[in-house]
Structure 1
Amino acid sequence: MATTRSLFDAMPEDRRRRLTDIAHEVSLPRATRVFEEGRRADRFWIIRSGQVALDQRVPGRRAAIVETLGRDELLGWSWLFPPYLWHLGAETVGPVDAVEFDAAVVRDLCESDPVLGRAMYLYVAKTVADRLHGTRTRLLDLYGPQGSGLDP
């Protein structure tokens, strides 16, 4: 489930430039492991094109894909919350173009600029809430009782 606004749209106009100044474009080939569950979360991305599958390790089985992200979506939010470790893994589905940010630099920027920091935290919180809602909906579809009265 995509958030309704991109990160740059969520920023006050006068703060967007501060983010674009520290961003850099990256291109990732198909089947690139972007990050691994449990490892240090030291950057994040805004996907410009392509898709990235988020996955979770399942003991004794292949990692389970829990969500697929696409254009204008935030890839990674674990960088914003201690202990700064990825909660999931991520792999490109096909070629991906994205804007990459150094997490420590953005956290410092959020600390030094409360207006930008508030906008960043609100954007990430909305992203997490939207994804939690999408997960709950998928779980109900999978495990909810038939005829529960919920609209399809």
Structure 2
Amino acid sequence: MVTPELLRQYAHFASLAPESLQKLASIADEQTVAAGQVIFEEADSAEYLYLIVRGEVNLACMLGSGELRIVDTLVDGELVGWAAFVEPFRCRTLATAVKDTHLVRLDAAQLRGFCEADHRLGSQLLTQIARLLSSRLNSARVQLAAV
């Protein structure tokens, strides 16, 4: 069972009001994936936003040449599945557990509904998603510069 206290431990959720944390906990569950297991594939429907509680996840993209390229490796406390917030709500990468990984997953449709009904919650979560995307874009730029 996911509790508000568990979510509060992570930076992405730490500043949320207790009522907001309770809402998020009500639509969350825990999932453990084995090393090598695919969490989602590129172009899948983005049905969940994931928080890595413990473990490691590779994000990879298929290049035009057909090569699968790892573009990022995420660890404890990071969010996976930001596409759950951006239309057309399709995953942009392949996410695979590098080692046994424990996740909290939040139902994306219900999460978007909460954000539409509670604009403060929506603003706070979208600010976190924007920071995440900015960081990943910067990481991609560094990788491109190294090529």
1:149 corresponds in structure 2 to none
1:68 equivalent to 2:93? Answer no
- Matched residues, number: 138
* Residue 24 of structure 1: how far off its partner (Å): 1.0
Instruction: Report the counterpart of residue 128 of structure 1 in structure 2.
Output: 133
Q: What value does the CA root-mean-square deviation take over the aligned residues?
A: 1.5
- Unpaired segments of 5 or more residues in structure 2? 1-9
> 1:95 aligns to what?
100
Q: Which amino acid aligns with 2:85?
A: L
Is residue 2:22 matched to residue 1:17? yes
After superposition, give the CA deviation of every residue in 1:105-131 in whole Å (9 maximum; x if it has no partner): 100000011111111111111110111
- State which of 3, 12, 26 in structure 2 corresponds to 1:7: 12
Q: Give the CA deviation at 1:25.
A: 1.1
SS of the residue aligned with 2:138?
Answer: helix
1:146 corresponding residue in structure 2: none
* Structure 1: runs of 5 or more not aligned: 144-152
- 1:52 maps to 2:57: yes
Looking at structure 1, the residues matched to 79 and 14 of structure 2 have their Cα atoms a distance apart, in angstroms, of 12
- In structure 2, the residue matched to 1:111 is 116
The reply on whether 1:80 has 2:76 as its aligned counterpart is no
Structure 2: distance between partners of 1:12 and 1:131: 27
TM-score (norm 1): 0.84
Cα displacement (A) at 1:36: 0.9
**Distance change (3 Å), C-alpha of 1:139 and 1:30:** same
TM-score relative to the length of structure 2:
0.87
